[in-house]
Structure 1
Amino acid sequence: MALPKHRGSKTRKAKRRTHQKATMPNVIECPHCKAPMLSHRACKSCGYYAGRSVVALKVS
């Protein structure tokens, strides 16, 4: 089994982990109902995507 020949410093470890971060979701305003929604996905409030209804929502 391989073992490190030299101990890595805290700075080196931190530099390696700078890219391991969570990204914020791209939230936009729905053009149909003005509710916040994720881009490139159907709106959860009205079911519209790209100007047409793609998800049939239940009426309660």
Structure 2
Amino acid sequence: MGVPKKRTSKMRRDRRRAGNNNLRTPVQVIKCSKCKEPVMPHRACAACGNYGGREVIATAAE
């Protein structure tokens, strides 16, 4: 049976677990092609309702 010979210290344990923090990337933000508002990629614009050059959501401004 695999039994550890010595107890793993808190520092070593936490250092091992902290490796996932480096893999995360920040969310990219693009500008809407029509109204130039910041929009997350692959989502319709909340300001004008456009996605891919056409209107997909009717907005209250109309």
Q: How many residues align?
A: 57
- Indicate the RMSD between aligned Cα atoms, in angstroms: 2.5
Counterpart of 1:50?
Answer: 52
1:37 aligned residue (36, 39, 47): 39
The runs of at least 4 aligned residues of structure 1 exceeding 3 Å deviation read: 20-23
Q: Percent identity?
A: 39
Which structure carries more helix by proportion?
A: 2
Give the match for residue 28 of structure 1. 30
- Which runs of 5 or more residues in structure 1 are unaligned? none
Bigger radius of gyration: 2
Letter in 1 for 2:15: A
> How far off is 1:18 after superposition?
2.4
TM-score (norm 2): 0.69
Shift of 1:31: 0.9
TM (norm. structure 1) is: 0.70
